Structure 1
Amino acid sequence: MSKYPSYQHFAASLPRVQLVMRVVFYLPHDHAVVAPILRRVLDIYLDFIGLGGGSLTSGEDSDITEDTFPLTPEFWEEVQRHLAKPRFEYLDDMDQDSYWFRRLTKRNFDTWVILKGGDSEPDGYEFSFESRLPWREPSSEYSVLSVTLPMRFLEVAGPEKAHDLAQSLADRLPFATGHAGLSLSFTRGKSKLLPLLKDQLARHPGWAIPVTRLWHQEKRIDGIHWLNFLGPAMLETIGGTQALRSHLRHPETTVQELTGGRALISLGPAPLAGDTKLGETLPAYRELARLLEPWLLPFARFNTWDGYTEEETRHWWRRFLEPPPAPVSNPLDG
């Protein structure tokens, strides 16, 4: 895993940016449906991060307090209660002039719990669950569960354990889609930091930028990653596992059938950053992108980042579909 250490964080130049391994699942269900399994999902994550010496130390939950709180036994108990039992019934049954109806519809989520590791600064371990608003008519929005691992976890426990974590979570979650791979993590100031990373983003296509509040997917996939999970509806739309296997020929790509008519597409034994300056353009990622292009989320103009032109952001969004830049040097030259 020697290819990762120099990208664990950006040290003195950009101390608020880290490179992490991020696992995300989009759940087409209200909190009440997934509540019975969330405690177990959290326990699985805690068991895995313990292998790398990690732990969770602080939390955020605006329904507990507006401030970040330490995960003392009392706060742990309250957080786990919020995960295990949703606080709100259908919004249709609320008085529209009530305080909670106005607050919930304004913030646009039911429950949002974020648990982080680290003392003075986040250390790369994070568990987050955000649930959609509960309406009697099923919503087209998704609830989102996300966990992260720092690069040192990959060095200590290995990418196999990161793969096992993602699959263990997938085995228990009723997801529509999901993914796992390298991602930047911003402790704060994302809008100001992204322009400073323009050259590095272009150089390392395997780095993802977490999408903020991606709710309406409508049978879409939010990009190409190391591990790509497809739920029953998406897999059926694409044509099933046999269609995937017949089109994906890269030797490091595997297609695995999961229970419940779901599938996992793995692009190699470990997540890769790629390095276009050295000609490392991630061909397995590009092959999958070409196959799934009809179902990839299209670029939306409102996603243009501060400090980037619309064309620059669009090109990054489609980086596995656009022609790769010519390498600056040949890795075989030493």
Structure 2
Amino acid sequence: MSVRYPVIRVREDNGRPKVLDGLVLCFFIRRKHTEINQAVWNSLQTYLRAIPSGVPGWYIDPESELRPLDEQGWAHIHWRILERPWGQACHVSLWQFEQEVGGYNFEYAGYQLDPLRFHDEKAASAIAFSLPTEYLLEHGPEKVRALAIELSRDLPFSSGYVSLAFVSPDVRWYAQREKLLPLIERYWGLDLYDINGTSRCIGTGARGAYWLTFLGQPLLGQLGGIEALRRELPFPEVSFQPLEGERLLLTLEEWPNPMDTREGLDVPQYRALARLLAPYLPEETIGLTSIFDRKNMGRWLRRFCLL
């Protein structure tokens, strides 16, 4: 392996880290929460089997208070995802630590997707898992890739991705955004994510070109299908893996790439895929005020198109 990975610790004033280097595994699903809740629960169980016992260790309760994920906590999460009789929508957030950011986190935003509700018009349910960079270095990219496929197996996703990322669940990076800005500008291969914000506007689109890019329906069909993508992405680094349900996993290179702009960027496969996906990218409006206004957020999402 020749890739060098940055060690990132963006800390608040008391020294606790609020942003770490790591990986994020995200899927966007244009289905109602009540249609996918069992698949979401199954995917969460797959994640828990793959990571160290005892993490995540905390959850956010309906009053936005952090509670320990003990037996009672897990019973609440099970009830929240699967059992609530009025559960037309569902938001779950599981953190590794209480006071600082850790590498193992889970987030889910499930929606009613009522066509009569303005906010549901462009929404999609979304699920995100995170891993520390150490997991990748210990187990290698093939195990991460296999885990991503297993996590996606029951999810009827429209799109998804796995990427190096600025790991910070529930936008905990926001208070540290000024410290984060030079890192965002330097490392183009690290994703800045906010699944609640993205899920409100992504619909059946995609968020960009990533190390692992999952394409489901209708997006894969809109792109012309697997054979059309093979013609458009004739790069030796790119592999194509058909998945059940007319879905596809694109792997753009063997290892995820932090893309340090100080070392130059030579990633034509990312540029080519990004340009194909450009018409299907969301108009994100997450509040990055001092980092990105709406125009600059769109520019950042389309950064590979500009190479």
Of the three residues 289, 300, 303, the one matched with 1:319 is: 303
Structure 2 match to 1:96: none
Structure 1 match to 2:186: 203
Q: 1: CA distance between counterparts of 2:87 and 2:78?
A: 18
3-state SS of 1:232 partner: coil
CA deviation after TM superposition for structure 1 residue 186, in Å: 3.0
Any conservation in 2 of the 1:86–1:111 contact (CA below 8 Å)? no
Q: 2: CA distance between counterparts of 1:70 and 1:89?
A: 23
Structure 2 match to 1:296: 281
Q: TM-score, normalised by structure 1?
A: 0.80
Structure 2 match to 1:273: 258
In structure 1, the gaps of 5 or more residues are 91-109, 324-334
> What is the total number of aligned residue pairs between the two structures?
298
Q: 2: CA distance between counterparts of 1:314 and 1:234?
A: 20
Deviations 1:196-240 (A, max 9, x none): 233322221101110342223243211221111111211111100
3-state SS of 1:55 partner: coil
CA deviation after TM superposition for structure 1 residue 6, in Å: 3.6
| 1:232 aligns to 2:217 (yes or no) | yes
Moved more, 261-270 or 289-298: 289-298
Compared CA separation, residues 252 and 39, structure 1 to 2 (3 A): same
Of the three residues 138, 142, 148, the one matched with 1:166 is: 148
Compared CA separation, residues 35 and 251, structure 1 to 2 (3 A): same
Q: TM-score, normalised by structure 2?
A: 0.86
Structure 1 match to 2:94: 115
1:214-225 paired onto structure 2 within 5 Å: 214=198, 215-225=200-210
Compared CA separation, residues 167 and 279, structure 1 to 2 (3 A): same
1:102-181 paired onto structure 2 within 5 Å: 110-118=89-97, 120-133=99-112, 135=114, 140=121, 141-181=123-163
Identity of aligned residues (%): 27
In structure 2, the gaps of 5 or more residues are none
Structure 2 match to 1:184: 166
Compared CA separation, residues 279 and 134, structure 1 to 2 (3 A): closer
Q: 1: CA distance between counterparts of 2:101 and 2:206?
A: 28
| 1:9 aligns to 2:9 (yes or no) | yes
Q: Which amino acid aligns with 2:126?
A: V
Deviations 1:112-159 (A, max 9, x none): 111121364231101111111264879542111111101111122222
Q: 1: CA distance between counterparts of 2:151 and 2:107?
A: 13
